[in-house]
Amino acid sequence: MAMLEVNDIKVYYGMIQAIKGVSFHVDEGEVIALIGANGAGKTTILHTVSGLLTPKEGTITFEGQDLVKIPGHKIVSMGMAHVPEGRRVFAQLSVLQNLMMGAYTRKDKEEIAQTLETVFDRFPRLKERQNQMAGTLSGGEQQMLAMGRALMSHPKIILMDEPSMGLSPIFVNEIFDIIQEVSKSGTTVLLVEQNAKKALSIADRAYVLETGKIVLEGKASDLLNNDSIKKAYLGE
């Protein structure tokens, strides 16, 4: 059974149908990429999976549990973390306070302290700047903070929305290295990314979205070599 199963979801904004019957699955331990042009519905899908939006039709199950009726904050304690587009760190709080916000669903103080050490090992820059206000960090550092904050909830699966958006090429490479590390340490990853080439280079499988529908799916390595994908998304 797949860890996450999305089946024929339809999502509307008022009268406008944003998602037109999308189905996909994520198995435990996979890195799955959702790629597509701006406005294809990628962010809407992540918001629907993590409980920020409710589909009009269709089902979403996570480890066999139906998510559609469960409020978003409860979904976090089931083991799903969401790194939103645009980072959304708490600018007026310190780096450390931001990270601790990520652990609010957890009760065991020792475990939280261990997770914090792990996050600091993975993001040494956050450790150096732990007392700094999050709003004063660079874009790349804020992205690291948003990822670190999500990891503080010790998720089974992490949803990442455009992690490389607006970052310099050096930071883009760093962020993708970190996503691979997160995956290797046992966390499943569902990645929405504008940078299709990068996403396909680290994903196991991928789904291509066009105007609210999945038009192609397959092994990421196959899609990297697919002529129509190259033309549409890889600028070749």
The closest of 160, 164, 162 to 151, measured between CA atoms, is 160
Q: How far is Cα 129 from Cα 149, in angstroms, rounded to an integer? A: 14
Task: Give the bridge partners for 16, in sequence order.
Answer: 13
Predicted confidence (pLDDT) per residue in 166-218, tens digit: 888 888 998 999 999 999 999 999 999 988 999 999 999 999 999 999 999 99
Per DSSP, which regions of 44-146 are E strands?
57-62, 65-66, 80-83
Q: What confidence category does residue 233 fall into, taking pLDDT thresholds of 50, 70 and 90?
A: confident
Beta strands 213-219; 57-62: pairing state = unpaired
- Cα-Cα-Cα-Cα torsion 187, 158, 72, 195, nearest 10 degrees, comes to -160
Over 90: is that where the pLDDT of 72 sits? no
Judge whether 57 and 10 are in contact, CB under 8 Å: yes
Tell me the average pLDDT of the chain. Answer: 92
State the virtual CA torsion across 48, 101, 103, 142 in degrees, nearest 10: 70
What residue ranges define each of the domains in the chain, with the CATH number in brackets?
4-85+155-233 (3.40.50.300)
The answer to whether 46 and 190 have CB atoms below 8 angstroms apart is: yes
Q: Is the dihedral of CA 96, 116, 120, 162 positive or negative?
A: negative
Per residue in 100-137, pLDDT tens?
999 988 888 999 999 999 999 999 999 999 999 999 99
**CB–CB of 32/190 below 8 Å?**
yes
Residue 235 confidence class, pLDDT cut points 50, 70, 90: low
Of 130, 137, 120, 141, residue with least CA distance to 98:
130
